[in-house]
Amino acid sequence: MKKKSRRPIVAGNWKMNLLPSQVRPFGEELMALAAGFHRQEAVVCVPFVMLPAALKVFEGSDISVGAQNVSENPRGAFTGEVCADQLRDLGVKYVIIGHSERRTLFDEDDIRINTKVRLALDAGLHVIICVGETAEQRNMDVTFEVIMLQVKSALYGLDGDALKRVVFAYEPVWAIGTGVTATSDQAEEVCSFIRGVVRAKFGARVANGLRILYGGSVTPENADDFFLMPDIDGALIGGASLDPHKFFSILEESENNED
């Protein structure tokens, strides 16, 4: 399958930024800019408390809404948590799972991430699974071992059919929020490796259909370098996704780069 048969995705991860009252103006501005852009998929992943506002403003548009986390428990006495069924019932399409900030600041290991992926997929959500090595791991030359472990354990217990609702995001930890991006060659090397791991486990058809994003200091200025790469199908954007103009510029770039 050629790259062009995979629909590009540009996903914004707002992290813990902006306010509920800012969702509507952001959404209206983004929709005005993005009217007519259907080829790519745009996803805006907002904090839990902003999901209803985001769903409302993007209702009927091509822009999907995502959460940034989900409980590893299906339901019950887990004060402060939000489960996959609740996200799905609200109308949320995507959830980011295994972001490096969750892994490092909230002790999420590969087993918990796999549990979340399975619950989210069972609930009917689409998942964006983040993987990436730290600077120390890259320097120790264990990047591919780390990525292999993260990818294989995230997908443990799934069948090929479930992979239709899985997107991977390669986000090297050292490139997140630092202004230092991976080079496009470094990013392509790892994204192609991820596709290879999926191919070995699920076969060529599933691997060729899998969408893999790059994330880490992506801006309108550098996005193009990544979108030109054969195994990179879009981007997961932090800081630049908080500005509708920057987010839209990156979305526009993703259209221009199909082989």
Q: Where in the sequence numbering do the catalytic residues fall? A: 99, 171
Check if the beta carbon of residue 121 is closer than 8 Å to that of residue 161: no
Name the residue number minimizing CB distance to ligand 13P: 238
d(CA 217, CA 236): 9
CA-nearest of 144, 138, 219, 234 to 180 is 219
Q: Chain centroid to CA 231: how far?
A: 15
Give the footprint of ligand 13P on residues 114-153 (CB under 6 A). none
Check if the beta carbon of residue 206 is closer than 8 Å to that of residue 194: no
246 is an interface residue for ligand 13P by CB under 6 A: no
Judged by beta carbon, residue 45 or residue 121, the one nearer ligand 13P is 45
Closest contact distance (angstroms) between CB of 223 and ligand 13P is: 11
8, 172, 220, 239: which one contacts ligand 13P (CB under 6 A)?
239
50, 65, 123, 176: which one contacts ligand 13P (CB under 6 A)?
176
Check if the beta carbon of residue 13 is closer than 8 Å to that of residue 241: yes
Beta bridge partners of 166: 127
Collapsed DSSP state (helix, strand, coil) of residue 220: coil
Number of residues that bind ligand 13P (CB under 6 A): 14
Check if the beta carbon of residue 186 is closer than 8 Å to that of residue 229: no
Collapsed DSSP state (helix, strand, coil) of residue 249: helix
Single-letter amino acid, residue 229: M
Judged by beta carbon, residue 98 or residue 202, the one nearer ligand 13P is 98
Give the footprint of ligand 13P on residues 83-112 (CB under 6 A). 99
Tell me how crowded residue 60 is: count the other CB atoms within 10 A of its CB. Answer: 6
254 is an interface residue for ligand 13P by CB under 6 A: no
CA-nearest of 148, 131, 141, 130 to 197 is 148
Options 24-32, 84-92, 145-153, 235-243: segment touching ligand 13P (CB under 6 A): 235-243
Judged by beta carbon, residue 207 or residue 232, the one nearer ligand 13P is 232
Judged by beta carbon, residue 146 or residue 207, the one nearer ligand 13P is 146
d(CA 224, CA 257): 7
Options 34-42, 110-118, 119-127, 170-178: segment touching ligand 13P (CB under 6 A): 170-178
Closest contact distance (angstroms) between CB of 250 and ligand 13P is: 10
| 95: enclosing H helix or E strand | strand 94-97
Closest contact distance (angstroms) between CB of 169 and ligand 13P is: 7
Q: x-or-dash pattern for ligand 13P, window 198-217, by CB under 6 A?
A: -----------------xxx
Judged by beta carbon, residue 190 or residue 240, the one nearer ligand 13P is 240
177 is an interface residue for ligand 13P by CB under 6 A: yes
Check if the beta carbon of residue 256 is closer than 8 Å to that of residue 41: no
- Residues near ligand 13P (CB under 6 A) are 13, 99, 171, 176-177, 215-218, 236-240
